[in-house]
Amino acid sequence: MEKKKFDFNSVIGFALIFGIILWMMYNNQESNLKEQQEKAKKEKLEKQQKAKQQEVKQVVETLKDTTVNDTVKLQKLQGSLGSFAYSATLPSAKEDFTTIENEFLVLKIANKGAYIAEATLKNFKKFDKNSGQLVELIKNNNASFNLQLQTKDNRVLNTKDLFFTPEVTKVDGNQVLSMKLKVSENSFLEYKYVLKPNDYMLDFDVRSQGLNTVLNTGKPVDFNWDLKAYRNEKSITYENRYAEIVFEYEDGKDDYVSQGKDQEETPEKVTYIAYKQHFFSSILLTKTPFEKAALRSHDLVNDEDVDTTFTKEFKTSSALAFTNGELDYKMNWYLGPSDYKILNNYERNLDEIIPLGWGIFGWINKFIFVPLFGFLSTFMGLGIAIIIFTILIKIAMSPITFKSFLSQAKMKVLRPEIMELGEKFAKDPMKKQQETMKLYNKAGVNPMAGCIPALIQLPFMYASFQFFPSAIELRQKSFLWAEDLSSFDEIFKLPFRIPVYGDHVSLFPILAAIAIFFYMKMTSGDQAMAQPPQEGMPDMGKIMKIMIYLSPIMMLLFFNNYGSGLSLYNFISNLITIGIMLVIKKYFIDSDKIHAQIQENKTKPKTESKFQKKMREMMEQAEEQKKLNKKK
């Protein structure tokens, strides 16, 4: 009978299974505990909300009760509101609004909560210029501003539930609206709105007087500012792409909350918070920085065909600190267009909310594109301004374009000799590189000369991709068949949606794609001829053949939903480049003359540049190292 052996593998297997079971039981227990905690937390929150709603309901019912006098009402309200019960007994304690307006804005401020209940821009239409609907940044409770007050008798009150007393005056031509939440005639919390003529910027002060004996001043007052951004443009996809929260730190640096379904940032020392809606913005500025703020952005667009009312929901949570027992914050509120020139004039760094690009791209836009296009658009139609703007930019770039084409022509002339070197030193790549560099030096040709001009033009191309989507001047301005240069130029509505492309056909992207195709078709041969294939490097000829067709397709797909102004710019830009290229080839570049010049250059003594010397030394060192390795 065979003796049974101790099976160590079986023991390890059972131990692992036992460990996995224990781990699963532990995790299941932790999960159940977490669920119970979340459930208890949710139930507690719901209970608090119900209690708060009941409390508010009791306050409303008390206010409506006509069977009792003010003294009885005051006694009842004190049970819910404490010292702030006084404000609920005043004549202003009713659902009413106060309107202030200037040439640009109409604002309605609610007695209850003293926040802006409606903000209408008088000079802008939503969707299209014939819609008959003005742009309304705030309406139908899509926005709120609330301070949470903690009293010394342990009450938590929200200003959005309390009634303020309005008082309108005029000071130096400015409309001043004082909204006071009163504890007595001389003790109150005040929101003061100051609206100047011809201005989108409000002065907004929050201060308290005599409340140091009523409020718990040991901790700051929490405040919340929320806004659900209304859709105002034809393309919800395009508009939503540029809807975001931008904020500025005390040191002047700006940042933003990332795009996405649910995004959050918690910056410190914040001097302004901007809710940007592509072409319109709501901005809260403060002279006393917010110590810390929680900023949240929630994308509300789940289905572009269904969700067409709002784009994003923005939320800010922060706190206002007490100074000597009282609140005293000097703030501003901007409610208006996201116009670079208007925002820049305030000298509060607000122009940074316009996404003109970082680094050199932003400089090109700020110091070249914005002033030039602004100048042209003052005395001509926007479509013509884009064409003239494009012509001027391309003319300015033409010397660089000329150098690029000239370099390609020189490389094309040298190609047969370079190919000979390739065949001669096919088995010695290092030697081939050395001889090729010598040939370039003798001929006076810089192989990088064709790349550098192209690289110089790239920042201008990228800057245009930032500039045109941000140019509010294009909004609802028509040109030819395009009704709105800031949106797509639809010529045909599709009965279905194509992924990425959309549910319509835009004409300017088609024209731009055709122009790109012919431009690349005309230049791809020269570029391939100018760059002979190198060992270990991709074949540029094959790559260019692919790009001839890939670039127009990408233009069609991605630009179909972009603003037609950008597509018009790209169409004209490629047409002009084709024209410049034909002129240069016909009148300025002669292959025979270039060949003769190169042959003459070969006979002249040449001195190596530092770069060429360094490259030669590196190649020689690599060659020596190669020989040493072979000896070993």
Given a cut of 90, whether residue 201 has pLDDT beyond it is yes
Given a cut of 50, whether residue 2 has pLDDT beyond it is no
Average pLDDT over every residue of 434-460: 66
CA distances from 545 to 458, 524, 539, 627 (A): 21, 7, 10, 40
Return the higher-pLDDT residue of 23 and 152.
Answer: 152
pLDDT of res. 94? 87
Alpha carbon dihedral 566, 571, 576, 578, in 10-degree steps, equals: 140
pLDDT of res. 204? 95
pLDDT of res. 475? 92
Instruction: List pLDDT tens digits, range 138-154.
Output: 999 999 999 999 988 88
Q: How confident is the model at residue 524 (pLDDT cuts 50, 70, 90)?
A: low
Q: What is the mean pLDDT of the chain?
A: 80
Return the higher-pLDDT residue of 324 and 446.
Answer: 324
Average pLDDT over every residue of 405-425: 69
Please tell me the least confidently modeled range out of 14-23, 168-177, 507-516, 531-540. Answer: 531-540
Q: Using alpha carbons only, how large is the chain's radius of gyration in Å?
A: 35
pLDDT of res. 67? 44
> Looking at residue 250, what DSSP letter applies?
T
| Rounded distance between C-alpha atoms, residue 554 and residue 558, angstroms | 6
pLDDT of res. 103? 94
pLDDT of res. 599? 62
Q: How confident is the model at residue 624 (pLDDT cuts 50, 70, 90)?
A: low
Please tell me the least confidently modeled range out of 68-82, 344-358, 471-485, 531-545. Answer: 531-545
pLDDT of res. 520? 80
Given a cut of 90, whether residue 340 has pLDDT beyond it is yes
Given a cut of 70, whether residue 511 has pLDDT beyond it is yes
Average pLDDT over every residue of 186-211: 94
As a whole-number percent, the residues of the chain with pLDDT over 70 amount to: 69
As a whole-number percent, the residues of the chain with pLDDT over 90 amount to: 38
| Rounded distance between C-alpha atoms, residue 564 and residue 477, angstroms | 11
Instruction: List pLDDT tens digits, range 25-57.
Output: 666 665 566 666 666 666 655 555 555 554 555
Return the higher-pLDDT residue of 259 and 451.
Answer: 259
pLDDT of res. 208? 92
Given a cut of 80, whether residue 433 has pLDDT beyond it is no
pLDDT of res. 597? 60
Q: How confident is the model at residue 358 (pLDDT cuts 50, 70, 90)?
A: confident
* 319 strand-pairing partners: 222
Q: How confident is the model at residue 3 (pLDDT cuts 50, 70, 90)?
A: very low
DSSP string across 108-121: EEETBT-SEEEEEE
Instruction: List pLDDT tens digits, range 554-605.
Output: 888 888 888 899 999 999 998 988 888 888 777 766 666 666 666 665 566 6
Q: Which residues of 432-452 are buried (b: 16+ CB within 10 A; e: fewer)?
A: bbbbbbebbbbbebbbeebee
Average pLDDT over every residue of 92-104: 91
Given a cut of 70, whether residue 389 has pLDDT beyond it is yes
Instruction: List pLDDT tens digits, range 58-93.
Output: 555 444 544 444 555 556 666 667 788 888 888 888
Given a cut of 90, whether residue 105 has pLDDT beyond it is yes
pLDDT of res. 332? 95
Average pLDDT over every residue of 497-507: 84
pLDDT of res. 131? 83
Residue 248 contacts residue 271 (beta carbons within 8 Å): yes
pLDDT of res. 530? 47
Given a cut of 90, whether residue 166 has pLDDT beyond it is yes
Q: Report helix, strand or coil for 227.
A: strand
Q: Which of 69-83, 282-296, 434-448 has the highest mean pLDDT?
A: 282-296
Given a cut of 60, whether residue 255 has pLDDT beyond it is yes
Please tell me the least confidently modeled range out of 434-438, 454-458, 561-565, 613-617. Answer: 613-617
pLDDT of res. 195? 95
How many CA atoms does the CB half-sphere of 87 hold within 13 Å? 27
Residue 109 contacts residue 185 (beta carbons within 8 Å): no
| Rounded distance between C-alpha atoms, residue 142 and residue 309, angstroms | 11
